[in-house]
Amino acid sequence: MDYTRTILCFDRGLRAEHFKPNVIRHQQSLVFVHGICHGSWVWWNFMDYFASQGFSCYGLNLRGHFLSSGHAELGMATTIDYVADVATCCAAIPGPVILVGHSMGGIVCQKAAEQSRVHKLILLDSAPCRHVTEHYLSIDPRRMKTSRKAFQMLPDGTVCMDRNPDIVRELFFEKNKVSDEALMQTVSLLGRESAKSAADHGFLDVDPSLLSCPVYVLGRTGLGNSANPDMYGALADYLKAKERCLRDDISHNMMCEQDWQDHAALVERWCLA
């Protein structure tokens, strides 16, 4: 391998996987932020790719997720707490940071970029902010029904996902370009999520005027309404994204599909732009 892989510990028991290149070729570090019930494991393909290209990569685990501590208190966590986790991670990293957020991690990164200087913000099938959710988001009723059935409320204030591979495939791999091995890895590694964050993360206000960095948006076509049929196009418009790529052939968890390198190459181009 062209890099070393370690686990870093930050304040409050936060842990990140660090893929450090043997030869660092780029000044900017990449901080990857996962979505609901996920962890740094969802970024293993991307971190291997980017570390091999000479980028120092940090796969953050939000509090109560995967390698980080705080699992017993996860039910009390809010999305704003996760924003603080990203700020803690970025403050510990020397030099400029490129934030890469997926799903819920995308709205977390939007909020984090409001509050601190970020070199670039890259959003992959990101959760939208309140303005876009309320004005443009339109989820297919069948998918909404599946999503609601897939999450079970637990007494400690968290939710867990149904581990049925067919449900996981339907929710995260809509285009079914996932190998059986990657699908079962996802099923085995999915964790719990704060019910508070699961319910409210799409309704956080983001002020585009506070984002001093370039924004890039990669997302699926559709999910919109008559005002804008492409919700991710509306998100890119609202955030004044420098570039966007809307595709009809990607799934939500594009980082784990068989053609993940296509998306990694696009992200790399944005990093170098």
Q: Look at residue 117 in the predicted model and tell me its pLDDT.
A: 83
Q: Is the pLDDT of residue 144 over 90?
A: no
Instruction: Return the ∠ at Cα 264 (arms to 259 and 265), rounded to 5°.
Output: 100
Q: Look at residue 7 in the predicted model and tell me its pLDDT.
A: 98
Mean pLDDT of the chain: 97
Q: Look at residue 156 in the predicted model and tell me its pLDDT.
A: 98
Paired tokens of 189: 């590694």
Q: What is the pLDDT of residues 14-30, one digit of tens each?
A: 999 999 999 999 999 99
222: left (phi over 0), alpha (psi -120 to 50) or beta: left
Confidence of residue 141 (pLDDT cuts 50, 70, 90): confident
In this prediction, what percent of the chain has a pLDDT beyond 90? 95
Q: Look at residue 85 in the predicted model and tell me its pLDDT.
A: 98
Cα gap 152→125, rounded to integer Å = 23
Q: What is the DSSP string of 9-78?
A: E-GGG-EEEEEEESS---SPEEEEE--TT--GGGGHHHHHHHHHTT--EEEEE-TTSTTSS-STTGGG--
In total, the chain counts a number of residues equal to 273
Q: Is the pLDDT of residue 142 over 90?
A: no
198 in Cβ contact with 151 (< 8 Å)? yes
Cα gap 152→244, rounded to integer Å = 34
Bridge-based pairing of strands 215-220 and 120-124 is: parallel
Q: Look at residue 128 in the predicted model and tell me its pLDDT.
A: 98
Region 96-101 average pLDDT: 98
Q: What is the pLDDT of residues 215-272, one digit of tens each?
A: 999 999 999 999 999 999 999 999 999 999 999 999 999 999 999 999 999 999 999 9
Q: What is the pLDDT of residues 38-88, one digit of tens each?
A: 999 999 999 999 999 999 999 999 999 999 999 999 999 999 999 999 999
Q: Look at residue 139 in the predicted model and tell me its pLDDT.
A: 83
Who wins on pLDDT, 251 or 147? 251
Please identify which residue in the block is written with the tokens 């996920």: 38
Confidence of residue 146 (pLDDT cuts 50, 70, 90): confident
Q: Is the pLDDT of residue 192 over 90?
A: yes
Q: Look at residue 93 in the predicted model and tell me its pLDDT.
A: 95
Q: Look at residue 172 in the predicted model and tell me its pLDDT.
A: 97
Q: Which CATH number fits domain 3-272: 3.40.50.1820, 1.10.1530.10, 3.40.190.10, 3.40.710.10?
A: 3.40.50.1820
Question: C-alpha 78: how far from its chain's center?
Answer: 16
Q: Look at residue 231 in the predicted model and tell me its pLDDT.
A: 97
Question: C-alpha 105: how far from its chain's center?
Answer: 4
Domain locations along the chain = 3-272
Region 188-206 average pLDDT: 97
Q: Look at residue 143 in the predicted model and tell me its pLDDT.
A: 83
